[in-house]
């Protein structure tokens, strides 16, 4: 499998957002998945590295489920540079990286540029979920209403979001 679904949980909506969790899953468009990655990042090391938080995002997190907050801020916490090196290693065999590319992709590129001067994975393999949904003419809201998350899939946890996004992206791809 050469596709990766990637999701970030952040403490800001800016392109310089501090990231508190990374999730990534290798998959194919039949819906099969293989190895995955979930990393909780120590927020203080993100901030020390120059990444930011904003009040509205903190308030938004305070309104999320207790289960999501516990999962996001739970141990083990990995220091920022180590987390991003782990992601870089995980992505080495990816041919396509799917995400909300204008959000997650920009934040990823900013992190690698600031922390390591470069991203070993080419920006050319970044793919955007929203573009796929639009091209397929899929009614995502209706699909989500008819295909809710399973009870063990926690919204706003990066890895669980990846698995849910794989489900609806596979459906969108089947429409094409």
Residues 6+ apart with CB under 8 A from 140: 133, 168
d(CA 126, CA 141): 24
Categorize the per-residue pLDDT at 74 as very low, low, confident or very high, splitting at 50, 70 and 90: confident
Domain that holds residue 47: 3-175
**41: domain CATH number?**
3.30.420.10
pLDDT digit string (tens) for 2-27? 999 999 999 999 999 999 999 999 99
Q: Determine the pLDDT at residue 118.
A: 75
d(CA 170, CA 162): 12
Of the given ranges (3-17, 26-40, 103-117), which has the lowest mean pLDDT? 103-117
Degrees, nearest 5: CA angle 166-175-102:
50
pLDDT digit string (tens) for 124-156? 999 999 999 999 999 999 999 999 998 888 889
Count of domains for the chain: 1
Q: Determine the pLDDT at residue 38.
A: 97
Average pLDDT value over all residues in the chain: 94
The torsion angle over the Cα atoms of residues 88, 89, 95 and 100, rounded to 10 degrees, is: -40
31 torsion bin: left (phi>0), alpha (psi -120 to 50), beta (else) = left
Say if pTM beats, i.e. exceeds, 0.85: yes
């Amino acid at each position: 499998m050469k596709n990766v679904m990637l999701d970030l949980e952040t403490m800001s909506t800016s392109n310089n957002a501090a990231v508190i969790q990374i999730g990534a899953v290798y998959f194919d468009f039949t819906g099969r998945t293989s190895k995955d990655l979930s990393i909780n990042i120590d927020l203080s090391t993100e901030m020390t590295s120059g990444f930011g938080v904003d009040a509205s995002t903190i308030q938004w997190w305070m309104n999320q489920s207790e289960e999501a907050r516990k999962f996001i801020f739970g141990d083990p916490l990995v220091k920022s540079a180590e987390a991003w090196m782990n992601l870089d290693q995980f992505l080495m065999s990816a041919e396509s990286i799917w995400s909300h590319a204008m959000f997650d992709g920009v934040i990823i590129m900013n992190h690698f540029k600031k922390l390591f001067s470069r991203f070993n994975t080419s920006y050319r393999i970044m793919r955007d979920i929203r573009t796929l949904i639009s091209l397929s003419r899929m009614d995502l809201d209706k699909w989500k209403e008819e295909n809710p998350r399973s009870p063990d899939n926690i919204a706003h946890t990066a890895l669980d979001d990846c698995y849910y996004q794989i489900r609806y992206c596979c459906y969108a791809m089947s429409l094409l």
